[in-house]
Amino acid sequence: MHAGSILFLWVAAALFVQQAEGWGLAALTVASLVVAFGCARAQCVRLLARVRVLLLAILVLFAWFTPGEAVFMDWPRAGPSWEGLLLALTHAGRLVALVCWVALLLGSMPTNRLVSGLYALFRPCRIFGLPTERIALRLLLVLRHASAARNDGHWKDWRAWLDPSDSSGSEAVHLIREQLGFRDIALPVMACIFLAFWWLR
């Protein structure tokens, strides 16, 4: 499938999960965790570790600062509310599902295809004078330098990237342009129709 279509479907799924709630959201979150741990375990664990503080903040802010029935009747003002806990679990589940999908996206698509997909999505903006090719190539260079620095075990100073004597980034950079097929157009259109019916129902 075209990289741009994959990214478009990912964005559509991210919009859909923002409307999910209840047991449907719980099942979606659990399924996302199972698939992510099975297909992109390292990326999923790393990304979940990075958002752990945000998940804790969501729990505290929603559970303790949402009015409602107190969970601990003996400490009604010091404890969380049931309504707050439900909101916290809802927002935390949405965030965890998105993180799992990001891990799957990064684990299944190489950097070149990821940038190629972004280029395809933003290509219509060329009519407004946006230099999409330059933006895509610069993004590809940034991701390549960041990946190289992470693989070396340390992050270089960003000033070193501007040093002309540094030949580490002198290799050729190629922007992949994939051809669109019928499926690459049909699936995003179907996703748009589904989201429109979901929001208008």
pTM for the full predicted model = 0.77
pLDDT in tens, the chain (201 residues): 888 888 888 888 888 898 888 899 999 999 999 999 999 898 899 999 999 999 999 999 998 888 888 887 776 667 788 898 999 999 999 999 999 999 998 888 887 788 888 878 777 777 887 787 777 777 777 766 666 555 555 555 555 555 545 545 455 556 677 777 778 888 888 888 888 887 777
| Residue 142 structure tokens | 């940034």
Give the per-residue pLDDT at 158: 52
Give the per-residue pLDDT at 149: 54
Give the per-residue pLDDT at 3: 81
Task: Please count the other Cβ atoms lying within 10 Å of the Cβ belonging to residue 33.
Answer: 17
Give the per-residue pLDDT at 151: 55
Give the per-residue pLDDT at 36: 93
Q: Shortest CA distance to 16 belongs to which of 103, 97, 107?
A: 97
Give the per-residue pLDDT at 183: 82
Q: Shortest CA distance to 140 belongs to which of 96, 175, 95, 188?
A: 175
Torsion angle of the four alpha carbons 188, 189, 195, 196, in this order, in degrees rounded to the nearest 10: 160
Residue 81 DSSP SS3: strand
